[in-house]
Structures are given as structure tokens and as C-alpha cells.
């Protein structure tokens, strides 16, 4: 019994040791300018997610459900404004304002889904957020620890898969199987985009492109999409569990 306990304890120590090595060895793997750029990107991403939370709260107070199409147009317009504005120090504040405005509108747009999911069980929203952070973090570390261009080939494959999923949504009959395929396929595609975008951002930085604002937008979109899919999956699971209990 004591030997078994000692083996379990050693196994736990190995797990925590491996996790510690992951975070301690990562700075040695990345070049200094890449590390500084990623700090800017992830710091700005945290602020963008905060703006999205304010958007969710604002939607809960004002109830903008009927204006979702206008918010979608606003999001695309702000994306075009960010891309169309030169990434220079003179335009930095303007482009940051565009990005935070985009984040706020995404929060408003996501608000109705959060309200619907959280109406019966608010813990689903919280759990979805925690799971999203873990998933996003794991795929980010996967991209950063791999060879610098190992996953860049995924770009074309993921874009094609996204187009195929869109066509399936428009053409295929809406059955439970198709719905499940779209949700799980969408989650897998966006997890792939986290890996691809992370490596793309690091590689662009190495080549002199340090547009941290647009790079933040890429990861922000990935994070929000993963969060939405996970929230829907948890809601479906909760509904099935409720039906079984009845």
C-alpha cells in the first residue's frame, strides 16, 4: 500500500515537474524580439477580452438582440479599418481604438448566446471560459514549442475546411447529425487556427512584421470562436443530462 502511494506521489511530481519545465524552457526557445512581441500581443489580447466582457454586460442591460446584423457589419467594418490603416506609430492609438471597438461589438454580439446558455445554468458559461483558456493555452504552447514553420502548411487546409463547413451549413439539411458535425468541426478548425496563427505571428515577427494589433485580432477571433463552440457543447450535454434524469 505504501509502495503504491509512493508511486502515485512520484507520478504526480513528474506531471508538475513537466509542466514547470514547459514554462521555464519556453523563454530559452524563443528569440528576444519574438518574446517581446508575443508579450505585447497577449497583453493586448487580455485587454480585448476585457472589452468583450463589457460588451456582454452592456448587451444584457440594453438588449440589442434585434440589431445583431448591424453589429456584424460594424465588426467587419472595424476589421477593414484596422487592415486599411497603416501600422505606424502615428496610427497606433487609432488602430487600438478600432480593435477595442471591435472587441466590444463582439461581446455585444455574443451576449444573446451567453444569456441563453446561462439562463438555466450560469456555471456552463464559467466552465466554458475556463476550458477555453486551457484549450487555447495548450494549442498555443504546442505551436511555440514546435519547429518555427512546422504548422504553417495548415493555413490552406483550415481555410478549405472552413469553406466546406460554411457550404454544409447552407446546403445540407439541418439534422442533429449535421448540427453536431458543424459544432465539433468548427471547434477543431478554430483550435487548428490557434496553432497556425501563433506560428504565423512568430514567423512574421522574425521577418520584421511587428503589427501586434492585427496579430491580437487574429488570436482574439480564435479565442471567441472556441469559447462559443465549447459553450454550445456544454449546453447540449447539460440538456441531455437533464432529459435522462427526467
pLDDT tens sequence for the chain (246 residues)? 555 555 555 555 554 455 455 555 566 667 888 899 999 999 999 999 999 999 999 998 988 888 888 989 999 999 999 999 999 999 999 999 999 999 999 999 999 999 998 887 889 999 999 999 999 999 999 998 888 778 888 888 999 999 998 888 888 777 888 889 999 999 999 999 999 999 999 999 989 899 999 999 999 999 999 999 999 999 999 888 877 776
Q: Secondary structure of the chain in the HEC alphabet?
A: CHHHHHHHHHHHHHHHHHHHHHHHHHHHHCCHHHHHHHHHHHHHHHHHHHHHHHHHHHHHHHCCHHHHHHHHHHHHHHHHHHHHCCCCHHHHHHHHHHHHHHHHHHHHHHHHHHHHHHHHCCHHHHHHHHHHHHHHHHHHHHHHHCCCCCCCCHHHHHHHHHHHHHHHHHHCCCCHHHHHHHHHHHHHHHHHHHHHHHHHHHHHHHCCCCCHHHHHHHHHHHHHHHHHHHHHHHHHHHHHHHHHHC
Check if the beta carbon of residue 230 is closer than 8 Å to that of residue 132: yes
In the structure grid, which three cell numbers stand for residue 214, read together? Answer: 492585427
> What's the pLDDT at 27?
61
> What's the pLDDT at 1?
56
Indicate the pTM of the whole model.
0.87
> What's the pLDDT at 178?
87
> What's the pLDDT at 2?
55
Count of other CB atoms within 10 angstroms of residue 185: 16
How far apart (Å, rounded) are the C-alpha atoms in residues 153 and 138? 20
Amino acid at each position: 500500500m505504501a509502495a503504491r502511494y509512493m508511486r502515485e506521489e512520484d507520478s504526480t511530481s513528474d506531471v508538475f515537474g513537466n509542466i514547470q519545465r514547459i514554462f521555464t524552457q519556453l523563454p530559452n526557445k524563443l528569440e528576444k524580439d519574438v518574446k517581446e512581441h508575443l508579450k505585447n500581443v497577449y497583453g493586448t489580447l487580455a485587454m480585448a477580452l476585457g472589452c468583450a466582457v463589457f460588451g456582454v454586460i452592456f448587451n444584457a442591460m440594453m438588449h440589442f438582440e434585434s440589431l445583431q446584423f448591424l453589429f456584424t457589419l460594424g465588426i467587419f467594418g472595424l476589421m477593414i479599418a484596422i487592415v486599411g490603416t497603416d501600422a505606424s506609430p502615428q496610427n497606433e492609438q487609432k488602430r487600438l481604438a478600432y480593435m477595442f471597438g471591435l472587441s466590444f461589438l463582439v461581446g455585444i454580439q455574443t451576449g444573446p448566446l451567453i444569456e441563453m446558455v446561462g439562463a438555466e445554468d450560469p456555471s456552463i458559461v464559467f466552465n466554458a471560459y475556463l476550458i477555453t483558456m486551457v484549450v487555447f493555452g495548450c494549442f498555443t504552447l504546442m505551436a511555440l514549442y514546435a519547429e518555427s514553420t512546422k504548422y504553417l502548411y495548415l493555413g490552406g487546409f483550415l481555410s478549405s475546411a472552413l469553406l466546406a463547413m460554411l457550404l454544409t451549413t447552407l446546403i445540407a439539411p439541418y439534422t442533429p447529425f449535421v448540427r453536431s458535425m458543424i459544432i465539433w468541426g468548427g471547434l477543431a478548425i478554430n483550435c487548428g487556427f490557434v496553432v497556425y496563427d501563433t506560428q504565423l505571428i512568430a514567423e512574421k515577427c522574425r521577418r520584421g512584421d511587428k503589427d501586434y494589433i492585427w496579430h491580437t485580432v487574429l488570436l482574439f477571433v480564435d479565442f471567441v470562436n472556441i469559447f462559443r463552440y465549447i459553450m454550445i457543447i456544454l449546453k447540449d450535454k447539460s440538456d441531455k443530462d437533464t432529459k435522462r434524469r427526467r
